[in-house]
Amino acid sequence: MTTVTYKVPAINCMHCVHTIQTEVAELVGVKSVKADANEKKVEVVFDSPASEEKIKALLAEINYPVAV
């Protein structure tokens, strides 16, 4: 199991948190997703076949790109 935390500056409200948690949780292999509007962070716990590349691509696709 892998845990990653991303800085996502576009998180502004609880709607953002809900959208991120709902969408990322649908990726096969994702075990848990916690988004934080105050800290603008997303923590994802996952196993294969999910990957950091897939998670980052999905976040960008739903307009919450990961900060570099």
Tens of pLDDT along the chain (68 residues) come to 999 999 999 999 999 999 999 999 999 999 999 999 999 999 999 999 999 999 999 999 999 999 98
54: in domain = yes
Q: What is the pTM for the complete model shown?
A: 0.94
10: in domain = yes
Instruction: DSSP letter for 59, please.
Output: H
Instruction: DSSP letter for 64, please.
Output: -
The pLDDT of residue 15: 97
Residue 16 and residue 42 in contact, taking contact as beta carbons nearer than 8 Å: no
Task: Supply the CATH number for residue 42's domain.
Answer: 3.30.70.100
The pLDDT of residue 68: 83
67: in domain = no
Residue 54 has phi, psi (to 5 degrees) of: -65, -40
Query: Where in the sequence is the domain holding 17, given as residue range(s)?
Result: 2-61
Q: Tell me how many degrees the CA angle 24-1-8 measures, rounded to the nearest 5.
A: 35
